[in-house]
Amino acid sequence: MKPSKNKCDVLVIGTGMAGMAAALFAAQKGLSTAHAGMTGAINFSSGLLDLLGVYPIGTQAGIWKNPWEGIEALVQDMPQHPFARISKSEIRESIDEFTAFLEKNGLSYTGYPDGNALVITPAGTVKPTFRVPLSMWKGVKAYEEKSPCLIADFRGIKAFSSRQIAETLKHEWPELRNARLSLPNLKADIYPKHLAQTMESPDMLEALIRELKPHIGNVKAVGLPALLGVCKTAQILSRLETELGTDIFEIPTIPPSVAGSRIRAAFEKGLSPLKIQPFYQKQVMGFQRLPDGNFLLDVGHTEKESQIQAKGIILASGRFFGKGLHADRKQIRESIFDLPVSQPQSRSKWHDPDFLAPAGHPVNLAGLETDEYFRPLGKGGKAAYENLFAAGSILAHQDWPRMKCGSGLAIATAYKAVKEMCAYI
- Which of 35, 11, 83 has its CA nearest to residue 388? 11
Q: Where in the chain is the domain with CATH 3.50.50.60?
A: 11-104+262-424
pLDDT greater than 70 at residue 368: yes
Distance separating alpha carbons of residues 412 and 392, to the nearest angstrom: 8
- Please state, for a pLDDT cut of 70, what percent of the chain lies above it: 98
pLDDT greater than 80 at residue 194: yes
* pLDDT (0 to 100) of residue 1: 65
Q: Where in the chain is the domain with CATH 3.40.50.1860?
A: 122-251
Q: Which phi and psi (to 5°) does residue 109 adopt? A: -125, 155
pTM: 0.95
- Per-residue pLDDT of 210-222, as tens digits, reads 999 999 999 999 9
* pLDDT (0 to 100) of residue 60: 64
| Helix ranges, 146-248 (H) | 162-169, 192-198, 202-216, 233-244
Distance separating alpha carbons of residues 424 and 365, to the nearest angstrom: 28
Work out the angle at residue 375's Cα, subtended by the Cα atoms of residues 373 and 380, and round it to the nearest 5 degrees. 120
pLDDT greater than 80 at residue 39: no
pLDDT greater than 90 at residue 186: no
The rounded mean pLDDT for the chain is 94
Question: What is the pLDDT averaged over residues 16-42?
Answer: 94
pLDDT greater than 80 at residue 189: no
Distance separating alpha carbons of residues 122 and 112, to the nearest angstrom: 22
- Per-residue pLDDT of 128-181, as tens digits, reads 999 999 999 999 999 999 999 999 999 888 889 999 999 999 999 999 999 999
Distance separating alpha carbons of residues 65 and 391, to the nearest angstrom: 26
Question: What is the pLDDT averaged over residues 172-192?
Answer: 86
* pLDDT (0 to 100) of residue 80: 96
| Cα atoms in the Cβ-side hemisphere of radius 13 Å centred on 116 | 25
* pLDDT (0 to 100) of residue 318: 95
Q: Which CATH superfamily is domain 11-104+262-424 in?
A: FAD/NAD(P)-binding domain (3.50.50.60)
- Class of the CATH-defined domain 122-251: alpha beta
Confidence band of 38 (pLDDT split at 50, 70, 90): confident
Distance separating alpha carbons of residues 343 and 296, to the nearest angstrom: 29
* pLDDT (0 to 100) of residue 113: 93
Distance separating alpha carbons of residues 233 and 235, to the nearest angstrom: 5
- Per-residue pLDDT of 215-255, as tens digits, reads 999 999 999 999 999 999 999 999 999 999 999 999 999 98
